Structure 1
Amino acid sequence: MASDKQPTPVPGAPPNGAKVPARTWIAVAAGMLGAFMAVLDIQITNSSLKDILGTLAATQEEGSWISTAYLCAEIVVIPMTALFTRAFGARRYLIGTTALFLLFSTLCGAAWNLPSMIVFRMLQGFTGGALIPMAMTLVMTRLPASKRAVGFAIFGLTATLAPAMGPTLGGYLTDLYGWPSIFYINWVPGVLLIAGMVWGMDPEPTDIPSLVTADWLGISMMAIGLGSLTIFLEEGNSKDWFDSQFIITFAALALFGILAWVALSFSRQKSFVNLNLYGQRNFLVATALSAVIGMGLYGSSFLLPLYLGQIANYTPMQIGEVIAWMGFPQLFVMPIAAALSSKVDNRIMCTFGLLLFGGSCVMNAFMDASTGYDQLIVTQVIRAIGQPFVMLTLSNFAMQGVQPKDMSSASSLFNMTRNLGGSIGIALLATALTNREHFHSARLGESVSNYALPTQQRLDQLTQAFISNGIDPAGAADKALRVVDNLVRRESYVMAYNDGFLIVGLVLIGSIAAVWLADKVKSPGGASGAH
């Protein structure tokens, strides 16, 4: 059913159709810069992990906690953003949490061992996580309804570009300036953010007593539940899931914490975040799809660089050139999507975006070992065209009909769900990659055996070639066997990556059915209101 009423006025927001002063746009842009910086830092260490671990004398398995600690703290703080905003005011909270984020970023660059790095990354995530939902809240509370499509369009760019650019930018900076630079670079957007907030926003009244009376038991259960769930997802594949007592423990803690949080939220009059929002159909559909999009965004950003590095032997800079084709076109597509969102049923736009996004992943499911830059440009551009249509419309669905007092809660839950979807997606894909590689390796091994005539002929050719290069017959035969074995492993990995992209593509396309469970929504245009 379509909604024909005027958009709900938000306290402090200009009336619909009002002219937005430059300082307000500066504040909103600064908020977007903060969200981009926080999302970027989730995966910025991935390309640089080898260098970091070498300096900190840590193993690959131990190093996974560098990303897990950040993501865990970020997901925990996102639902608490509404509480801290009420207590300190948006301007003070944003300036304060950004200043702390820069401090902890600097300490990450100066970390002297793995435990110190993990602690500083956790604190960095806890201070940076608030920047993501706050950017969305600024759009709702600082812009008139007629300009929110533009604000959501910019916010969508932060959500889609940052996951792809993180590993690439990290590898690029590490190659040029060393791995600490991936943390020190945060000072550039961080200082701009603080300056934009100081100039663009007025101080708001504080409500420090609300921290004292807050539902700290519910907050504790939420922190235990979401934190444990993140650790369970991030570490599950490397520890063989439920074969590990460690993983079983965190799975139990996640279940206990989340159920206790939900029970406390519905049994108390005033919770720190309003879970009743999930009772609104449009919001429920938007957050469910947000989780799917998180899986698609982080999943494709996980698979493609890994494929290019392992199979095509690309450097981080070469990977960046491929990834850039998923980024730059969005800068041109997003204004078009914003203009259309006030004229076209957003369900149609979201369906179109999901078809392109999912379709591009399905196209990636037919790669071979020679697939590289030239073959991937088309799929990257298709993905770049689709993503803005999805991110913009989901923001519109999520905020449609949300009461002004619940704006911060809605923003927090919407963004928390996307991050959790990303964690679930990467966990599923990492496991699928391992299992499917083993499956394809076994199947190929059945065909490429010492008893198969083509295999024997190929081994003989390779052996003779190595002997002609001066290698003794026994060594040549052994070397030939290793070449064939490596070929089988390479092809099995290519097939596994193809399977991973197929999974992501089918999930994205399959989620189109959920879009049509939402009401018809259009962005408010001019003074016409919502539709």
Structure 2
Amino acid sequence: MTETYREPAIPPPTRRDWIAILSAILGAFMAILDIQIVNASLKDIQGALSATIEEGSWISTSYLVAEIIIIPLAAWLCMVLSPRRFAVIISVVFVIASLLCSLAWDLQSMIIFRVLQGLAGGALIPFAFSLVLTKLPLEVRPKGMALFAITATFAPSIGPTLGGWLTESFGWEYIFYINVLPGALMIAGLMYGLAPQAPRWELLKKGDYAGIVSMAIGLGCLQVFLEEGNRLDWLDSPLMIWLGSLAFVSLGLFIILQLSRDNHLINLRLLGERNFLLGSLANVGLGVGLYGTVFVLPVYLAQIQQYNALQIGEVFMWLGLPQLLLIPLVPVLMRFIDARLICAAGFVLFGSASLYSAQLDLDFAGPQFIAIQIFRSFGQPMILVPLSILATAMIPPSQAGSASSLYNIIRNLGGAIGIAALATILDSRSSRHYEMLREHVSPERPEVIERLQLLTQQLGDPQAALQLLMQQVEQQARIMAFNDAFSLIGVMLLLSTVCVLLTRGLPIQRK
């Protein structure tokens, strides 16, 4: 169980505290933005580096693997180096790695630079989250969480828009150049806002190195397993079997090590706190919703509606921009309405929008998604801020590092598992729907004969008409698979609603 003693109250934040928090949140925003902005330009990068689609997938996978490995290490490294030194180092590395990515001369160099960028970017996310927990008292924390919510919701939403525009207008290199100026502002803000402290090198002697190794191997293998599994046919691939087995054994060992010693890398006992456990479970569904939507929708628009990167970005614009207006209102609502009700309402809005998306047909394109994107833009801010507060309100400041690492790892894993499941659904369900539809496309059926005659008149070739008909059947099967994918996202979000309603109310709302 977590500590039951009372720790010293957190004093009201100063101007320097706010500058440090804003600078760290800017870094987390850029780190998350880099995932989606690169995905939007992946085809152009692959072409420039002479990489195949399979090889090019490692441009994204390498970043995600490095990110998920560094997140649990961030709290410990922060204690060893001191918060100011740690924050400045990772910020400088992130900017330099971004510039190196723009200068990559082949696939191997790009993967190396993306790993470096992922290590720095992944550390920025839990660092920003932990600053909010340690610098802001509970009554002020909703404002900090509202700012942090911009990184988790607005960054993935605006990524395809910004990536598509930069690539179409200037070239793919500019998706990395844009990190330089914000990076310089972030470094200056962190140097001003965080007080210098002496490093604690003695902690290196007490480090949980067995936990670090087992965690790095386990999370790294799991991330690759989830990212590449569908492409390699999951357990039909010997490589996937080895990766899955190694991840299972390593993560099992990591959990045993963390629960059996006091000198742990991450305090897994925090999951014994009711709100943190339920909030983390809801966070899994949120990860599926956030990352799953940003994965499925562009694929649908590109494959079915033949949209280019810029057109896809214009659809996502309706999800991103309204959130900037809505996020600041959420802390105000939390003064008068139970955070659980706000969060549950957000999940219902987001989930309902996803279920409504599961009614796709050939005429369902960008304009039809505008209302859906606006519904999502209302729901996502109502989730992020209250859920973060509900999950961490009972966590003492001394455990902020572990809480931040666990909370962000769980959301990232939820997204990775969700994307893997959705990619598998799109492939497997497409095949199943195609077989089902093909059974009804019998040459003896009057409507099939009529359709073939019409196509033959248009094309002048019976064989071409038959081929086109089967292509149309395949397209309908693909659309049905997209409906299944959106349905899964909606169900996961609605299940998260139940977890939120089972949490305890916030102390500040019991007054």
CA distance in 1, matches of 2:336, 2:310: 40
Asked if the contact 1:43–1:67 (Cα under 8 Å) also holds between the matched residues in 2, the reply is no
Aligned match for 1:27, one of 4, 10, 20: 20
After TM superposition, the score normalised by the length of structure 2 is 0.95
TM superposition shift of 1:447:
1.8
Cα shift readout 1:377-408 (whole Å, capped 9, x = no counterpart) = 11111111111111111111221221221111
Is the counterpart of residue 62 in structure 1 residue 55 in structure 2?
yes
Give runs of aligned pairs for residues 91-130 of structure 1, distance below 5 A. 91-130=84-123
CA distance in 2, matches of 1:509, 1:21: 39
Aligned match for 2:438, one of 430, 442, 445: 445
Cα shift readout 1:457-501 (whole Å, capped 9, x = no counterpart) = 22222222233xxxxxxxx22332232222112211111111110
1:291 matched residue in structure 2: 284
TM superposition shift of 1:314:
1.7
TM superposition shift of 1:300:
0.7
CA distance in 1, matches of 2:335, 2:233: 48
RMSD value, Cα:
1.8
TM superposition shift of 1:434:
0.6
2:481 matched residue in structure 1: 496
2:246 matched residue in structure 1: 253
Aligned match for 1:197, one of 190, 196, 199: 190
Q: 1:236 to 1:252 in 2, by over 3 A?
A: same
CA distance in 2, matches of 1:271, 1:327: 39
2:372 matched residue in structure 1: 379
CA distance in 2, matches of 1:433, 1:385: 27
Cα shift readout 1:43-89 (whole Å, capped 9, x = no counterpart) = 32222222211222221112111111111110110011110110111
TM superposition shift of 1:252:
0.5
Asked if the contact 2:433–2:481 (Cα under 8 Å) also holds between the matched residues in 1, the reply is yes
2:225 matched residue in structure 1: 232
Give runs of aligned pairs for residues 2-151 of structure 1, distance below 5 A. 9=8, 13-14=10-11, 18=12, 20-151=13-144
Amino acid at match of 1:271: H
Cα shift readout 1:77-121 (whole Å, capped 9, x = no counterpart) = 001111011011112111110111111112222122212211211
1:471 matched residue in structure 2: none
Task: Please give the secondary structure, in 2, of the residue aligned with 1:271.
Answer: coil
TM superposition shift of 1:373:
2.7
Give runs of aligned pairs for residues 193-342 of structure 1, distance below 5 A. 193-342=186-335
Larger CA deviation: 176-185 vs 275-284: 176-185
Give runs of aligned pairs for residues 473-484 of structure 1, distance below 5 A. 476-484=461-469
Asked if the contact 2:97–2:116 (Cα under 8 Å) also holds between the matched residues in 1, the reply is yes
Is the counterpart of residue 178 in structure 1 residue 171 in structure 2?
yes
TM superposition shift of 1:159:
0.3
Is the counterpart of residue 428 in structure 1 residue 428 in structure 2?
no
Is the counterpart of residue 485 in structure 1 residue 470 in structure 2?
yes
TM superposition shift of 1:200:
2.1
Asked if the contact 1:287–1:398 (Cα under 8 Å) also holds between the matched residues in 2, the reply is yes
CA distance in 1, matches of 2:101, 2:95: 10
Count of paired positions: 508
Task: Please give the secondary structure, in 1, of the residue aligned with 2:87.
Answer: helix
1:401 matched residue in structure 2: 394
Larger CA deviation: 205-214 vs 98-107: 205-214
- Structure 2 gaps of 5+ residues are none
TM superposition shift of 1:241:
0.6
CA distance in 1, matches of 2:115, 2:329: 38
Asked if the contact 2:160–2:316 (Cα under 8 Å) also holds between the matched residues in 1, the reply is no
Cα shift readout 1:137-192 (whole Å, capped 9, x = no counterpart) = 11122233322111101111210122222233222211122212212221122111
1:349 matched residue in structure 2: 342
Amino acid at match of 2:64: L
Cα shift readout 1:299-324 (whole Å, capped 9, x = no counterpart) = 01111111111112222222112111
CA distance in 2, matches of 1:54, 1:77: 30
Q: 1:448 to 1:335 in 2, by over 3 A?
A: same
Aligned match for 2:455, one of 452, 462, 476: 462
TM superposition shift of 1:289:
1.1
After TM superposition, the score normalised by the length of structure 1 is 0.92
Q: 1:420 to 1:293 in 2, by over 3 A?
A: same
Cα shift readout 1:249-296 (whole Å, capped 9, x = no counterpart) = 000011111111111112222112211111111111111111110111
CA distance in 2, matches of 1:358, 1:90: 38
CA distance in 2, matches of 1:23, 1:449: 73
CA distance in 2, matches of 1:126, 1:267: 28
Is the counterpart of residue 510 in structure 1 residue 495 in structure 2?
yes
Q: 1:324 to 1:6 in 2, by over 3 A?
A: farther
2:504 matched residue in structure 1: 519
Task: Please give the secondary structure, in 2, of the residue aligned with 1:226.
Answer: helix
TM superposition shift of 1:442:
1.4
Asked if the contact 1:7–1:145 (Cα under 8 Å) also holds between the matched residues in 2, the reply is no
Task: Please give the secondary structure, in 1, of the residue aligned with 2:465.
Answer: helix
Amino acid at match of 2:506: V
Q: 1:415 to 1:7 in 2, by over 3 A?
A: farther
CA distance in 2, matches of 1:138, 1:342: 22
TM superposition shift of 1:436:
1.2
Larger CA deviation: 261-270 vs 168-177: 168-177
CA distance in 2, matches of 1:48, 1:440: 31
Asked if the contact 2:71–2:126 (Cα under 8 Å) also holds between the matched residues in 1, the reply is yes
CA distance in 2, matches of 1:162, 1:449: 48
TM superposition shift of 1:7:
8.8
Asked if the contact 2:208–2:265 (Cα under 8 Å) also holds between the matched residues in 1, the reply is yes
CA distance in 1, matches of 2:226, 2:19: 37
Asked if the contact 2:23–2:189 (Cα under 8 Å) also holds between the matched residues in 1, the reply is yes
Asked if the contact 1:7–1:401 (Cα under 8 Å) also holds between the matched residues in 2, the reply is no
Q: 1:6 to 1:337 in 2, by over 3 A?
A: farther
- Structure 1 gaps of 5+ residues are 468-475
Cα shift readout 1:8-50 (whole Å, capped 9, x = no counterpart) = 545xx42xxx4x4433322211111111111111232222222
